[in-house]
Structure 1
Amino acid sequence: MRKIKKFISVICVVALLAGVLSTGVYAAGAERDYTIISPYADVDWSWNQYKADLHTHTTASDGRSSLKDMIEINYDYGFDIYATSDHGLTSYSWTEQQVIPALKVFVDMRNPNTEMVALEASGGLTFEGVPYQVVTENGGDYYFQETTPDHKMLRVPYANEQNPSSLNNAHVNTWFADYGNGVLGGTSDYETPIKAVHEMGGLSVINHPGEYTNARDEECTADAYDYNDTFYKYYIDKFTHLLATYDSCLGIDINSKGDSRTRFDRKLWDILLMNLAPTGRNVFAIATSDAHSTDAAYTGYTEMLMPEQTVDALYTSMKTGAFFPSSKCLGNHEELEEIANYLLENANGNAEAVAIANDILERQKTDYDAKYEAPLDVDAPVINSVIVDDGDDTITLNVKDGLCVRWIADGETIAYGESIDLDDYSKYIGSYIRAEVFGVGGIAYTQAMLLEYEEAPEAEAKDFTDFWWILSFIPDTLVRLLGSMEFFQILWDALN
């Protein structure tokens, strides 16, 4: 009888372990009654996904390709929505451009021969001789080439990368509000543009925080955004305060310009979510190319979930978080190593997955900072739907072209696979859950889904006073004084 009981016990243990291993990384938890708050709750999954780049530049500021060049290449890459967000210059039109003479003179000294070429209002031809049109309809401006009239690209109104002369890259992207055209300054000052745009009904996001915080210079994820570090504590508290105060500031840029400078900003995203999700405040992530030339186009973008391709629908999609950030590049060593090891262990005969994993690991042996750059002719993973079942406490992704789906809570990967049962991982879940999908063509991210339940983490009240003006007063005053001098306007007029 003892042998039978022992045999049954062994079988039970084996079965339990098999269950743990088959469900993911941890698979440990207890039944909870979760309320899952998804930014995709109101999405009709029959809607189109519109490819958008919300942050780009031209030769009107510090770009190396003209407006016409940038629009043509992004149209050719299949973009449906495009923002021209030059430094300190508000996008009013694709047929006319503005400049800040003082800023442009200095930029042209560094990058000569940066000719400004806008689109023609009528009768325009691409560089390859294809006729194109710029039309205004449905409350927005659209560009299309006459050979492909069904493919139109929508201009994002009033796009602007604020704080053009910030000495520490405190950059803010804004849209849908006519603010900041020609306004210089901005060293350490995120709040001025965020507040102004908020009061005007526009939207904003904190650009590439790793540049401002210098997290981009760290060697590994553990060192970046360490709250025990005085400077990182200041930065984290500062961003938390801004996002808590202004709900029109959507969140942060988590992957842009090849991901070298943003590779640790997913960690910041998780920290901000841990700080703010208990208050009911989501923190949305965007990915962009931040392209300054055609060479960098299509490196980062967002897939916007919209019932129609209009300015109003775009505003709603951005405001509610109904979009997926995506990138062709991934530069975080630890993330890549984790993904590569998963692919090797779960390839199931997929030679392509094995080849990618081996390539990642081999290159990282000789170059710790080696990043994954997907081929431009291969589609990035597409998330076709995010299905939430509050009754069963499950979230399921419908994914195309994905090799690895990771579920992340409180900054840690807790599970793999297209579906997760939160009850299986309750021990490791705080106030949110999000997913990342890696494939041959790059990576796609969901927004975070907030979680409410008994004994959920409680919000911690934090007092924060920002003395940014102490750092910014002298440099911003000097820059604005120089910028107001007629000399630069006269010089610019003479040069043009």
Structure 2
Amino acid sequence: MTIVDPYESVDWETHIQYKANFHTHTTMSDGRLNPHTVVDRYHQLGYDILAITDHNEVTWPWTAFAEMEPSRTTLNRMESAPETMPDNFDFENRDPVALQMVDIQANELSRHHHMGSFFNDHNNTATEEESLDATAAKGGITMLYHPGRYQERNPEYYNLQWYLEVYGNYDHLFGLEVYNQGDRYPNDRHMWDSILTVMMPGRPVWGYSNDDMHTEPHIGRNWNMLILPELNHEQVRLGMENGLSYFIYAPGGHDGPLPPVIEAVKVNNRRATIEITATGYNSVVWKTGGNVVYEGNIINLNELEESYTYVRAKLYGEGKTVAGTQPFGLRR
């Protein structure tokens, strides 16, 4: 057996963990906070990487916020529910360099299955295929958002085969949101495991946890820790594309219990083991196909069924906090 380790290129002793959110809204679409306020809130909570993903609107660069104007949705809401909106729409610029943050050019392509589009300026196409073709042509990368929503609304169309086809056809479609706005759609992870069962170990799909922030209470319950040699756009993109991260869900937000912190992952192909070193956890379970198949911070893969194509670890901490690894491929 060969274990395909997503963290193989990570030096856990020298690389640094950077905090990221990849799904964020402002008054440039249907969010309740102005762009500069959103940046300030995430900066105050120690985020290093932020993608503002307004619906079909690229709210970027941060240094040009002052030149932007609020969306029609925002202006209408200002008339119908002014108590939920800012006092004004005097946008202020923010300098990501001064804030020591990476500002990702992004938007949420929303006329179909919602998806995050990163590192390109494409927006507002009508179908998934058009959006994926266009973002690929512009050198961007994409992530499908909250798949559980579509299991509720249109499961006949957005079935497992649909996901297998789009991931099989588009290499730049790197990830899937597996926690959204707290945990609105637990079926996100059911679909993720179903995809991984078929596509692993040859075609990994990386899992991400995002705030899908629209209002103040949404901020800071979901994030991702990217493990990188340095903080810049190039390294962040490489980390996103290659799964150099683990995801966090903290139900109580930053005022609640701290989630587990993964400090190292050690893969031993000769012994067929994976060992996780972490702090702040009460238990570790290993999952495949949506089922728990092992418990403990060290898994012996020789004890599992030969049919398994991957495993992933889930660490539970105080207050139902969660840290989740990317999937480890099992090649026999």
TM-score (norm 1): 0.62
8 Å CA contact retained: 2:21, 2:211? yes
Alpha-carbon distance, 1:91 to partner: 3.1
Query: Aligned AA for 2:97?
Result: Y
Query: Aligned AA for 1:170?
Result: H
Which structure 2 residues correspond to residues 191-230 of structure 1 after superposition, within 5 A? 191-214=129-152
2:64 pairs with 1:64 = no
Residue in 1 that maps onto 2:109: 162
Residue in 2 that maps onto 1:394: 273
Which structure 2 residues correspond to residues 46-445 of structure 1 after superposition, within 5 A? 46-97=14-65, 98-99=68-69, 102-112=72-82, 113-114=85-86, 115-120=88-93, 134=95, 141-144=96-99, 152-156=100-104, 158-163=105-110, 166=111, 170-180=113-123, 183=124, 186=126, 189-214=127-152, 231-232=155-156, 234-260=158-184, 262-277=185-200, 280-329=202-251, 373=252, 376-426=255-305, 429-440=307-318, 442-445=321-324
Find the residue that maps to 1:414 and give its secondary structure.
strand
CA 1:76–1:385: 2 relative to 1, 3 Å: same
In 1: Cα distance, 2:80 partner to 2:54 partner: 17
Structure 1 or 2: larger helix share? 1
Segments of 5+ residues of structure 1 without an aligned counterpart are 1-33, 122-133, 135-140, 145-151, 216-229, 330-372, 454-496
Residue in 2 that maps onto 1:220: none
Count of aligned residue pairs for this structure pair: 325
Alpha-carbon distance, 1:100 to partner: 7.6
RMSD: 2.1
In 1: Cα distance, 2:80 partner to 2:292 partner: 44
- Runs of 4 or more above 4 Å deviation: 99-111
CA 1:101–1:327: 2 relative to 1, 3 Å: closer
Q: Which has the larger radius of gyration?
A: 1
In 2: Cα distance, 1:397 partner to 1:232 partner: 39
8 Å CA contact retained: 2:106, 2:119? yes
8 Å CA contact retained: 1:257, 1:296? yes
Alpha-carbon distance, 1:281 to partner: 0.3
Find the residue that maps to 1:273 and give its secondary structure.
helix
In 2: Cα distance, 1:190 partner to 1:452 partner: 31
CA 1:143–1:294: 2 relative to 1, 3 Å: farther
In 1: Cα distance, 2:264 partner to 2:4 partner: 15
In 2: Cα distance, 1:43 partner to 1:375 partner: 27
Q: Deviations over 1:253-307 (max 9, x none)?
A: 01011112x21211110000112115x1001111111111222111111000110
Query: Aligned AA for 1:154?
Result: V
Residue in 2 that maps onto 1:469: none
Segments of 5+ residues of structure 2 without an aligned counterpart are none
Alpha-carbon distance, 1:430 to partner: 1.2
CA 1:236–1:374: 2 relative to 1, 3 Å: same
In 1: Cα distance, 2:193 partner to 2:220 partner: 25
269-278 vs 101-110, which moves further: 101-110
Residue in 2 that maps onto 1:459: none
Residue in 2 that maps onto 1:447: 326
Residue in 2 that maps onto 1:40: 7
Find the residue that maps to 1:399 and give its secondary structure.
strand
What is the percent sequence identity of the aligned residues? 27
Alpha-carbon distance, 1:449 to partner: 0.8
